[in-house]
Amino acid sequence: MKRVRLRKIVKRESEEAPPRVPKGLLWTLLTLLVLVAVWQYDKHGQQVAQQHIAKAEAALRRTDVTAAISEYRQALENPRLSRQKKAVLAIKIAELYETGLNDPELALAFYNRARRYHPKSTDRPEIKAKMTELRVRLATQGHFVTGVEGEETTHAEEVRLLSPPPEDFEGPVIARIGTTEIRAAAFARYVRQRSTLPAVLLKPEDPKLAQWWNDFINRETAYRAAIAEGMHLRPGIIAQLYDYQRTLLSQQLLAEQREKVKSVSEEEIRQFYEKHIDRFKTPARIALGAIANTTETALLDAKQYLKQGASWRDIVTSCCTHSELLQRDGLVGALAANAESIPQFGEAKELIPQLFGLKARQTLGPIKRGDYYWLFIVFQNFPEEKQSFDEVRGQIELTLRSEKVGRTEQQLREDLRSRMKVSTEPNALEKVIEYLKTEETSTTPSVERSERAHDNKI
């Protein structure tokens, strides 16, 4: 009797207890919450980075290079930016260090950082050339070149090194390497390449200055020892020295031409803006949703559910049988006014104007297309937006400047070929290939052949 009474009590309590949430649904909700939190964190991080970038661009408009670099570097350190975007920022910083602060060491360091972030970012010819130029500038400091005795004696090449620049012989003697005197002006030039501080702020006890002095003496000592050993006469070194001077001088020639044409007038910028105003417009858009079913009745039911206040997601689950729309929860996406087709639906030139005539939460359909009946809903309307002249002025200036520089460099190359009387053999490439094949099949090592050719010249 007691067992029967106990069984009834347990049964009554179980009937009165509220239904428990399935564990699978609970874990799904927790996962979604985590994903939303991560997405919000990532979005916030990117917004912070964009704020620093905007401040950097504002600083550049004020020609405040130091502030611009500081803001760009803060954006660069943001962990939410992709490696490709970081590479773009690193290149901007490198350019500012080189052109704005005359600091080739930090410029090259940030070019290298860009290559580590995203190797393809530094594959452009102009970036490679700039990195080569900086390496030349840092590695040689203008001391190493090779020369040719006379323009007409191109086969009587003599290897020689340029003397130090005249300013290096000024000031008191501060050190000696053998019989060579090192004067104050030589080290002063070395210091200026590494610091933008006025001389009055430098102190002899500054540890950084002492380190520079130690590096300078070490470099000069190694340089003199290399010359004493005839290292500059080695074929491999000769080729590098020649490539250094060729790169440096040719880049300097192009740089001077770029400097002459890089300015863009305010009138040119405004004319470009007015001529290409459509580039700076975002057309009107709508946020569009859709469901599709093989029966028209299901879509008529869906319209009734909408009027009754049912959620769009519940309606999609109940009334849609189109697999792709189900996967997207019935969200088609943003549709521009000048679009000619609707995703999943296809070409809809006549339908799109009707959709843009709807207000938020209004529907269009059912519409028969193939095996399905379609019902569209407009979630939100976005008006046309236009960027103001002030918002895009800097962007236009950079575009025009780049176009000017490109045209100038191309014209300069053509003029130089004409002025320097350049001519090429019609079968030049075939001759090079034949030479390469001969060189590969030869049993004489390449270094030995180079040394023999060099000995014959001198």
pLDDT band for position 158 (50/70/90)?
A: very low
Tell me the Ramachandran region of residue 248: left when phi exceeds 0, alpha when psi lies from -120 to 50, beta otherwise: alpha
pLDDT for res 266: 86
**Looking at the whole model, is its pTM more than 0.75?**
no
Tell me the average pLDDT across 310-333.
Answer: 90
Which of 105-119, 139-153, 231-245, 255-269 is the least confident region? 139-153
Tell me the average pLDDT across 22-27.
Answer: 58
Distance CA 315, CA 41 (A): 31
pLDDT tens per residue across span 207-263: 888 888 889 888 888 888 887 777 877 778 888 888 888 888 888 887 777 777 767
Tell me the average pLDDT across 393-418.
Answer: 80
pLDDT band for position 147 (50/70/90)?
A: very low
**C-beta of residue 157 within 8 angstroms of C-beta of residue 235:** no
pLDDT band for position 296 (50/70/90)?
A: very high
Indicate whether 26 pLDDT > 60: no
pLDDT band for position 322 (50/70/90)?
A: very high
Indicate whether 349 pLDDT > 80: yes
Indicate whether 194 pLDDT > 90: no
Indicate whether 309 pLDDT > 90: no
Which of 72-76, 94-98, 180-184, 292-296 is the least confident region? 180-184
In this structure, what token pair is assigned to residue 304?
A: 């009734």
Tell me the average pLDDT across 8-21.
Answer: 53
pLDDT for res 157: 38
Query: Which residues contact residue 234 at a Cβ distance below 8 angstroms, ignoring those fewer than 6 apart?
Result: none
pLDDT band for position 22 (50/70/90)?
A: low
Which of 153-162, 237-246, 338-347 is the least confident region? 153-162
In this structure, what token pair is assigned to residue 264?
A: 């863009």
The residues that bridge with 378 in the sheet, in sequence order, are 288
Indicate whether 35 pLDDT > 60: no
pLDDT for res 91: 93
CB atoms closer than 10 angstroms to residue 306: 17
Which of 29-38, 258-267, 398-407 is the least confident region? 29-38
pLDDT band for position 178 (50/70/90)?
A: confident
Tell me the Ramachandran region of residue 370: left when phi exceeds 0, alpha when psi lies from -120 to 50, beta otherwise: left
Domains of the chain: 44-118 (1.25.40.10), 284-383 (3.10.50.40)
pLDDT band for position 99 (50/70/90)?
A: confident
Query: Which residues contact residue 75 at a Cβ distance below 8 angstroms, ignoring those fewer than 6 apart?
Result: 49, 50, 52, 53, 56, 81, 89
Indicate whether 1 pLDDT > 80: no
Which of 27-41, 215-229, 379-393 is the least confident region? 27-41
The residues that bridge with 367 in the sheet, in sequence order, are 374
Nearest Cα to Cα of residue 241 among 223, 215, 267: 223
**C-beta of residue 362 within 8 angstroms of C-beta of residue 380:** no
Of 52 and 432, the structure prediction assigns the larger pLDDT to 52
pLDDT tens per residue across span 351-376: 989 999 899 889 998 999 889 999 99
pLDDT for res 213: 86
In this structure, are strands 157-158 and 147-148 parallel, antiparallel, or unpaired? antiparallel
Print the SS3 string covering the chain: CHHHHHHHHHHHHHHHCCCCCCHHHHHHHHHHHHHHHHHHHHHHHHHHHHHHHHHHHHHHHCCCHHHHHHHHHHHHCCCCCCHHHHHHHHHHHHHHHHHHCCCHHHHHHHHHHHHHHCHHHHCCHHHHHHHHHHHHHHHHCCCCCCEECCCCCCCCEECCCCCCCHHHHCCCEEEEECCEEEEHHHHHHHHHCCCCCCHHHCCCCCHHHHHHHHHHHHHHHHHHHHHHCCHHHCHHHHHHHHHHHHHHHHHHHHHHHHHHHCCCCHHHHHHHHHHCHHHHEECCEEEEEEEEECCHHHHHHHHHHHHCCCCHHHHHHHHCCCHHHHHCCCEEEEEECCCCEECCCEECCCHHHHHHCCCCCCEEEEEEECCEEEEEEEEEEECCEECCHHHHHHHHHHHHHHHHHHHHHHHHHHHHHHHCCCCCCCCHHHHHHHHHHHHHHCCCCHHHHHHHHHHHHC
